[in-house]
């Protein structure tokens, strides 16, 4: 039996958190878990989490990362499952997300699903977020233009062990995890829409808005990824 860990990084996420957790918990088995790393929430987020009173929820609070990448790293590092699903604090899962992703993960190290792009009331804006080219896996292709969207991803223990801890200079947890998985393992983009990807005025993510990084920052970030990929490769294959 595969044990599933769902990792969530919260920060002032009270608005849609209950709806999100309900859509996830109903798909989990008794030995599965939701790992929540909270980054200095000042609203009702922690009380909402505690109100579920579900032993499958493991809450790690009191963190002061002030950045979602480090917050996700903390959550992933606490996960005990054979596979990890990532989830943003305002998205809702389609009812068969876990079962479909697990079938693909039987033959892949990392899977990325399609999603319904919706407004704050879950009204569908678009039936997809990726175009046909982006569904093609590949390290170089996604290093040039990252298509690994964290809330649509699930990956196995091999990927976890390779990508944690995150190296310094990593700006995006999803591009780092996707790069590691595509270089050392097998990745797959599937056409099933398995989450309701909520877009609203309170979103912290820049997804769909485009990058605000300068050319120099983009180049530096890719160099950081390549350098750290090589370090992992050297550790595994060159250093005795």
Closest by Cα among 156, 149, 139, 195 to 172: 149
**How many C-beta atoms lie closer than 10 Å to residue 166's C-beta?**
19
User: Quick one: average pLDDT of 71-97?
Assistant: 97
User: In the chain, what are the domain boundaries?
Assistant: 4-238
Tens of pLDDT, residues 50-66:
999 999 999 999 999 99
Higher pLDDT, 44 or 129: 44
User: Quick one: average pLDDT of 198-217?
Assistant: 66
Which pLDDT score, from 0 to 100, does residue 156 have?
A: 98
Residue 153 and residue 180: Cα distance in Å, rounded? 13
Residue 239 and residue 68: Cα distance in Å, rounded? 33
195: its two tokens: 């989450």
| Low-confidence winner among 22-31, 134-143, 164-173 (lowest mean pLDDT) | 134-143
The alpha-carbon radius of gyration of the chain (Å, integer) is 17
Spatial CB neighbours of 69, under 8 Å, sequence gap ≥ 6: 166, 170, 171, 172, 173
**Full-model pTM:** 0.91
Q: How confident is the model at residue 49 (pLDDT cuts 50, 70, 90)?
A: very high
Residue 26 and residue 18: Cα distance in Å, rounded? 12
Q: How confident is the model at residue 135 (pLDDT cuts 50, 70, 90)?
A: low
Tell me which CATH code domain 4-238 carries. 3.90.550.10
73: its two tokens: 């790293």
Which pLDDT score, from 0 to 100, does residue 150 have?
A: 94
Higher pLDDT, 212 or 24: 24
Which pLDDT score, from 0 to 100, does residue 58 have?
A: 98
Which pLDDT score, from 0 to 100, does residue 13 have?
A: 92
Q: How does the average pLDDT of the chain come out, rounded? A: 90
Per-residue pLDDT at 83 exceeds 70: yes
């Amino acid at each position: 039996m595969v044990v599933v860990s769902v990792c969530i990084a919260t920060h002032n996420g009270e608005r849609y958190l209950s709806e999100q957790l309900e859509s996830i918990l109903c798909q989990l088995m008794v030995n599965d878990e939701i790992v929540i790393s909270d980054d200095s929430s000042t609203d009702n987020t922690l009380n909402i989490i505690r109100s579920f009173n579900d032993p499958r929820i493991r809450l790690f609070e009191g963190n002061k990362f002030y950045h979602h990448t480090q917050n996700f790293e903390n959550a992933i590092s606490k996960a005990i499952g054979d596979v990890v699903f990532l989830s943003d604090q305002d998205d809702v899962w389609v009812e068969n997300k876990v079962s479909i992703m697990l079938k693909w993960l039987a033959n892949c190290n990392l899977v990325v699903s399609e999603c319904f792009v919706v407004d704050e009331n879950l009204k569908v804006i678009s039936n997809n977020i990726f175009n046909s080219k982006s569904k093609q896996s590949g390290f170089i292709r996604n290093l040039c233009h990252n298509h690994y969207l964290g809330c649509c991803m699930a990956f196995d223990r091999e990927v976890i062990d390779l990508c944690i801890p995150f190296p310094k200079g990593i700006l995006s947890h999803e591009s780092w995890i996707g790069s590691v998985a595509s270089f050392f393992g097998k990745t797959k983009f599937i056409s099933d829409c398995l989450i309701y990807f909520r877009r609203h005025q309170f979103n912290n993510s820049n997804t769909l808005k485009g990058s605000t990084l300068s050319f120099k920052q983009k180049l530096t970030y890719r160099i950081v990824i390549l350098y750290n990929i090589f370090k992992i490769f050297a550790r595994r294959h060159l250093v005795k």
